[in-house]
Copies of this chain bind each other. A is one copy, B any other.
Amino acid sequence: MTPQRQAILEYLVTEHSHPTADDIYKALSDRFPNMSVATVYNNLRVFKDIGLVQEMNYGDASSRFDFVTSRHYHIICDACGKVVDFNYPVLDEIEAVASQLTGFKVDRHRLEVYGTCPACQTEQAHKH
A contact set with B: CB distance below 8 Å: 55, 57-60, 63, 73, 75, 77-78, 84, 86-88, 91, 94-95, 97-99, 101-118, 121
A21 nearest CB across to chain B (Å): 12
- The complex places the Cα of A118 from the Cα of B75 at a distance, in Å, of 32
A107 nearest CB across to chain B (Å): 5
Q: Which residue of B lies closest to A87 (CB)?
A: B101
A87 nearest CB across to chain B (Å): 7
Cβ–Cβ contact A113 & B109, under 8 A = yes
- The complex places the Cα of A104 from the Cα of B116 at a distance, in Å, of 5
Given contacts A57-B57, A60-B57, A104-B77, contact A99 B111 (CB under 8 A): no
